[in-house]
Amino acid sequence: MRLHSALGREKTVIVAGLRGTGELCTSLAEAKVSGLFCSKVDEIAKIAARKNAAAILIDLDSILGASDRAALKTLRSISGATPIIGVCEDDAGQTQALAKEYLKDHLFDQICTRPLDLAQLLSSLQKTRISPQQGAAVLNGSGGDDLGIVGESPAIVAIRRAIRKMAATDVPVLITGESGTGKELAARAIHQLSPRHGAPFVAINCAGLPPGLIASELFGHERGAFTGAVARKLGRLEVANGGTSFLDEIGDFPLELQGHLLRFLQEKVIERVGSTASIRLDARIVAATHIDLKKAVEAGRFREDLFYRLNVLAIEMPPLRARGDDIALLADRFARKFSHEVNRPFEGLKADAIAALRAYDWPGNVRELIAVLQRAIVMAEGAWLSAADLGLSGVPAARASRMPTLAQARNEAEAELIRRALILADANVCRAAKLLGISRNTLYRLAERHSIVLRGC
């Protein structure tokens, strides 16, 4: 597809502070697209007001700084109308961190890395951008359905808002959390809200594939590549072309194959087993793991460069025991669903059942809750479920019998203080940081750790 066909009628691209633009200018000219160049952020607004630009390319290194508030204010004034694409170095340094903040704050729609080529630019410009009205809904945490992620706890509300924002861009996402917390559900929500929703969502369980077949399953193979390869087979990454590839339990991905995955993330090309021909693909990567990848990197089990490639945007799914009233809400919803499926009566949960649900520690999280409710609906004698029906009445409440670790207590207290400060500051990041006695950048870092979405100053 040619560039001008992707841009439609809007054939102007504003380029701000981008280095090495000679080749880009030539490519734009060949595609009959105008490139308007400027060196200051305030010039962007003036040009954007005069021209119906298809997009704005901004060099993060040369034109913006983390404390350039005037520049950020200018960007906010135009971000609702024109897609903004940030260009940064292909590394895990300060610029990438800055890019993440701009994506979260909904100032940027895409992030591209240098060296910038026409194919990458085309890919970015083709992405459908969410409207200003949808953007407002995102920032307010409203709009649309609940993405299948049920709950009103602060952590879940923040995750739904983060998912809507992350869906609007195209960079990798790393979803962490204990087993059974709904990591695949979050990945599917990101895909369904993204411009890729009409293309395949291909889930790959890295822990469930036989070690000797992982390369073939992921990248495909040619006929005769090995014994039993009687025909060419497309790999799952290739099947996901144009859509989203969900790499579940990425922490179990074999070390010897991590370089191949890294190459795909860097260059968007793969080679089938038994072939030396490179195949270019366009699949977004969303990965998930229940293990600490930083510790895996330190132990030499996971490549550091691959970790940084995957961890561009991050979501941490909270454990069920930390979700408060969401537990009873989920239990009621699952019970009604299962009662309908098996044609069994269900009126509600008794008080002792709700107390048992909240007291139990849920080591299996939502997956365990589903199993408990399925069993209870089938085995219960009446239409109201009791603690005895749930089978939790005789189980010692882990939270009552086991003290939280000091690290867990600190984390919970830290997250609660941040949420309180944001409420007092009317969600203003700068004021909330002052109330907490920390810098704005520190608040951004802590908010990311606790999956709390910030709006900016």
Per residue in 344-371, pLDDT (tens digit) is 888 888 888 888 898 898 988 999 999 9
320-401: CATH topology: Helicase, Ruva Protein; domain 3 (1.10.8)
Whole-angstrom distance, CA of residue 153 vs CA of residue 266: 37
Same fold, 3-129 and 150-316: yes
The pLDDT value given to residue 189 = 92
Q: What is the rounded average pLDDT of the residues 255-281?
A: 86
Q: Work out the pLDDT band at 401, boundaries 50, 70, 90.
A: very low
Which residues, 6+ apart, have CB-to-CB distance to 381 below 8 Å? Answer: 389
**Sequence-ordered list of residues with C-beta below 8 angstroms from that of 410, at least 6 positions apart, any chain:** none
Q: How, if at all, do strands 313-316 and 173-176 pair?
A: parallel
Stretch 95-114: mean pLDDT? 65
Residue 51 has what pLDDT?
65
pLDDT bin (cut points 50, 70, 90) of residue 80 is low
Task: Kindly tell me if the per-residue pLDDT of 434 is higher than 90.
Answer: no
**Residue 136 pLDDT more than 70?**
no
Higher pLDDT pick, 33 / 188:
188
Q: Are 47 and 12 in contact (CB under 8 A)?
A: no
- pTM exceeding the 0.75 threshold for the entire prediction: no
State the pLDDT at residue 115. 65
Domain regions of the chain by residue span: 3-129, 150-316, 320-401, 406-449
Please state the length of the chain.
Answer: 457
Q: How big is the CA angle at 248 (ends 203 and 298), to the nearest 5 degrees?
A: 155
Distance from C-alpha of 223 to C-alpha of 234, rounded to nearest angstrom = 11
* pLDDT per position as a tens digit, 309-323: 999 899 999 999 988
Q: Is beta strand 269-270 parallel, antiparallel or unpaired with respect to 279-280?
A: antiparallel
Rg (CA), the chain: 24
Tell me the three-class secondary structure of the chain, residue by residue. CCHHHHHCCCCEEEEECCCCCHHHHHHHHHCCCEEEEECCHHHHHHHHHHCCCCEEEEEHHHHCCCCCHHHHHHHHHHCCCCCEEEEECCCCCHHHHHHHHHHHCCCCCEEEECCCCHHHHHHHHHCCCCCHHHHHHHHHCCCCCCCCCCCCCHHHHHHHHHHHHHHCCCCCEEEECCCCCCHHHHHHHHHHHCCCCCCCEEEEECCCCCHHHHHHHHHEECCCCCCCCCCCEECHHHHCCCCEEEEECHHHCCHHHHHHHHHHHHHCEECCECCCCCEECCCEEEEEECCCHHHHHHCCCCCHHHHHHHCCEEEECCCHHHCCCHHHHHHHHHHHHHHHHHCCCCCEECHHHHHHHHHCCCCCHHHHHHHHHHHHHHHCCCCEECHHHHCCCCCCCHHHHCCCCHHHHHHHHHHHHHHHHHHHCCCCHHHHHHHHCCCHHHHHHHHHHCCCCCCCC
Tokens, residue 88: 């940064």
Selected from 3.90.1150.10, 3.50.50.60, 3.40.50.300, 2.40.100.10, the CATH number assigned to the domain covering 150-316 reads: 3.40.50.300
The residue with greater pLDDT, 394 or 36, is 36
Given this model, what pLDDT does residue 125 score? 57
Could you tell me if residue 58 is left (phi over 0), alpha (psi between -120 and 50 degrees) or otherwise beta?
beta
Q: Which residue has the higher pLDDT, 1 or 18?
A: 18
Q: Can you name the CATH fold of 3-129?
A: Rossmann fold (3.40.50)
Q: How confident is the prediction for the chain on average, in pLDDT?
A: 77
Confidence band for 445, pLDDT divided at 50, 70 and 90: confident
Residue 374, C-beta contacts closer than 8 angstroms, at least 6 positions apart = 334, 338
Query: Which two structure tokens, joined as six digits, stand for 210?
Result: 């036989």
Q: Choose among 167, 158, 176, 195: nearest CA to 290.
A: 176
For position 116, what pLDDT does the model report?
Answer: 66
Distance between CA 295 and CA 167 in Å, rounded? 28
Calculate mean pLDDT across residues 54-76: 66
- Tens of pLDDT, residue by residue over 203-234, are 888 887 777 778 888 888 888 777 777 788 88
> What is the distance between the alpha carbons of residues 61 and 437, in angstroms, rounded to a whole number?
28
Residues 6 or more apart whose CB falls under 8 angstroms from that of 23 comprise: none
Q: How far apart are CA 289 and CA 315, in angstroms?
A: 11
Establish whether the linkage from the previous residue to 115 is cis, with ω within 30° of 0.
yes
Q: What are 41's two structure tokens? A: 């952020």
Amino acid at 274: G
Q: Residue 36 corresponds to which tokens in the numbers above?
A: 């308007």
Residue-level pLDDT at 446: 85
Confidence of residue 109 (pLDDT cuts 50, 70, 90): low
| Region of poorest pLDDT, from 121-130, 147-156, 274-283 | 121-130
Residue 281 pLDDT class (50, 70, 90 cuts):
confident
